[in-house]
Every structure is written in C-alpha cells, then in structure tokens.
C-alpha cells in the first residue's frame, strides 16, 4: 500500500489538468496514489481524465462544495497515512515528494508541511499563495517568508532553512490523515479562503506543529479560480479571516483584536473607495464584515471547544512569531517601510 495520496481538487480546470497533471503523474505515480476529485465541473475535465490519465483515480462529487467542503468530501474516500493536497495549477519536478515524506517520517510531532512555492511565470520569485511558509500578525493578517502583502521577493536561497510556521499553504499541503480528521478537517462553512490557516491554527492549538520544508520546491500559477482583486475573493477573505480569529484567539486577546480589526477593516474599505475608486472592493469588505457578524453565533460552540482543548506550549524551539507576531504588519509595511520578511523579523 502506498503511503501518500496526492489529491487534486478540480472545478472546471480542464486546461490546468491538461497542462500540469502530466508532471504529477511522471514524477509521483511510482510512490503515490494520484486522485482527482471533481467539484461538479461543467467543462470536459472528466473526459480528459478518463481518456488521457487512466492511472488517475477519479472521485466525482455531486455539486461544487468549494475548496473546504470539496476536500472534506473527497478525503473521506482516501485512506493513506499522508494526504498531499495539490492545486491543479502546480507543476512538480523529479523526486519532489521525497523530502516531504522523509521529513514527516522523521518528525512525528509534525502534523503538516509545505514545500517552497515559486511562481510558475517568474520562476526565480516566490509565489504569492504560500512562498516559504506562512504566519499572521497580531491582528490576523497573513503573510509569508518571501511575500508580504503585494511585495514578492526573488528567491535567492534566503529562506531555504526548515522552519516551524503557523500555516502551510493549501496549494501544496502534506498533512497526516489522523491530524486532518482530529480537528474535523476544513471548516466547510468557509467555502474557500483562509480555511488552511484556520485548520493549521486549530492543530497548533492542540500542540501539533506545522513546517516549511524548502528542500522541495514546486511552481504555482495561482489565482486560477478567483483572481486577486475579485470582489468575491475579497468578501470571502474578510468574512473568513474574522471568523478564524473568533474561533482561535485566546480569550485575553479576542476583544482587543476584534476592536482593532473593526477600525482597520473600515480604513481598508474607504481606501478602496476614495483612493482606488473601487466600489466593488469597498462593498466586498463591508459585506464581509456584515456576514461575519450575522453568522458569528454559529461558531460559538467551535470557539468553546477550541479554547477548552488548547495546549499551552513552553517549547523554546518554537519560533517567537508563533502563533501571532507581536507587531502590526500594516504599520510595519505602510508606515515603517519594512516590506520584506527579513526586516519584519527584526521588528519590535
């Protein structure tokens, strides 16, 4: 029995499957089961899979469950010890899985890990979605080693060390089957965006650890389903990010962080309206906040359970940025001009 299943969630991604799935098959079929879970596509994805990739297992879902729900429904049907969640727009190379499997085998404390993500179109630069491992600042804004807001760094080997991170990107995420289901998988209510950060944070709260293993690297296109700047993407990001904070923040931090986010989110909304003249983005931020407020009570039990099961860690090896940085990334980026991760590490 193979140890790893590579599970690719697809929704109307026939072009991406045709382009990138051959690299996965060529460099993985000997050591991993390859699965494509189709989120009720209306294009010819299934036909392409059946005709061009007979070695790939197909799971057909009855409707589009989004990223979170789609993976949950698909992974219920996968039994290998390790899941490798892989976006359909990722190109992999020879022996790409080896370093990740070796690391997970050698580190039972690790629930999940990611490789280094580079941009498929500019291969010497990091890719926005995950770069070389993710963190969040004190107010819940995510950033990565190699990507802070819109600033994406050139990869010069500066983040090639294996480090513990708060979150690993869902674009290429290796996770233990037992850990995935220990926390109930992704929160399907999120549909898409921030679900992997929420998952990793919940695991961290249980004392499990997340790593970036840059000895493996892949190339990611990114933004295939909802491109950056799409109002729906903005809506989901704001709604889900606030919900994630409500679920996972310790009691001592919750009120202060949510009060600050109220003001920071409205500053972002009015910047979109007054400076960028982007009415769609303005409305998306406001809608995201209203949607969070409307469904917050639905997550009260989740919050109580997460806080009740939280493990207090006194491990000196844990990076001082975990689980949240002590600073505001907005202040560092826009006021102090610290736009790269290496400068944030020195921030106070």
Q: Omega of the bond prior to 336 within 30 degrees of 0, cis?
A: no
Question: Helix, strand, or coil here: 37?
Answer: strand
284, 235 Cβ separation under 8 angstroms:
yes
Say whether both 191 and 285 belong to one domain. no
User: How do strand 147-148 and strand 151-152 relate by DSSP bridges?
Assistant: antiparallel
Quote the domain boundaries for residue 146.
Answer: 4-220
Say whether both 14 and 163 belong to one domain. yes
- Dig out the tokens for 203 from the structure: 């695991």
Q: Could you tell me the CATH number of the domain that includes residue 185?
A: 3.90.550.10
pTM for the whole thing? 0.94
For residue 170, give every residue at least 6 positions away whose Cβ sits within 8 Å of its Cβ, in sequence order, or none: 67, 85, 87, 129, 195, 196
Burial of 232 (0-12, 13-18, 19+ CB in 10 A): middle
Say whether both 103 and 41 belong to one domain. yes
Identify whether 347 is part of a domain: no
Instruction: Give the pLDDT band of residue 273 (cuts 50, 70, 90).
Output: confident
- Dig out the tokens for 224 from the structure: 């295939």
- Per the prediction, the chain carries an average pLDDT of 93
Say whether both 78 and 205 belong to one domain. yes
Taking residues 109-116, report their average pLDDT: 98
321 closest CA partner among 136, 115, 116, 130: 136
Taking residues 271-281, report their average pLDDT: 89
| Of 175 and 270, the one with more pLDDT | 175
């Amino acid at each position: 029995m193979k140890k790893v299943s590579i599970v690719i969630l697809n929704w109307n991604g026939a072009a991406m499957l045709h382009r990138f799935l051959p690299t996965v098959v060529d460099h993985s079929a000997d050591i991993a089961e390859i699965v494509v879970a189709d989120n009720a596509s209306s294009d010819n994805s299934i036909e392409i899979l059946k005709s061009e990739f007979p070695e790939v297992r197909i799971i057909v879902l009855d409707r589009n469950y989004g990223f979170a729900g789609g993976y949950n429904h698909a992974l219920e049907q996968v039994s290998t010890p390790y899941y490798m969640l892989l976006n359909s727009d990722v190109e992999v190379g020879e022996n790409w899985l080896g370093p990740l499997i070796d690391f997970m085998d050698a580190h039972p404390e690790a629930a999940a890990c990611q490789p280094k993500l580079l941009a498929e179109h500019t291969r010497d630069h990091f890719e926005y979605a995950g770069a070389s491992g993710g963190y969040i600042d004190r107010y819940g804004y995510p950033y990565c080693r190699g990507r802070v807001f819109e600033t994406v760094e050139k990869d010069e080997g500066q983040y090639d060390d294996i480090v513990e991170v708060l979150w690993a990107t869902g674009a290429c995420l290796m996770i233990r089957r037992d850990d995935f289901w220990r926390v109930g998988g992704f929160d399907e209510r999120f549909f898409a965006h921030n679900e992997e950060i929420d998952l990793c944070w919940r695991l961290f709260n249980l004392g499990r650890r997340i790593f970036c293993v840059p000895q493996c690297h892949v190339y990611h296109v990114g933004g295939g389903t909802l491109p950056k700047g799409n109002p729906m993407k903005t809506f989901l990001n704001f709604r889900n990010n606030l919900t994630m904070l409500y679920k996972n923040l310790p009691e001592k931090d919750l009120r202060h962080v949510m009060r600050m986010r109220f003001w920071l989110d409205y500053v972002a909304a009015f910047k979109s309206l007054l400076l960028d003249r982007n009415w769609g983005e303005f409305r998306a931020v406001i809608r995201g906040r209203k949607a969070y407020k409307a469904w917050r009570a639905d997550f009260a039990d989740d919050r109580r359970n997460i806080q009740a099961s939280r493990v207090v860690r006194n491990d000196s090896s844990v990076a001082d940025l975990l689980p949240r940085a002590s600073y505001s990334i907005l202040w560092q980026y826009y006021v102090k001009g610290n736009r790269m991760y290496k400068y944030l590490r020195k921030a106070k």
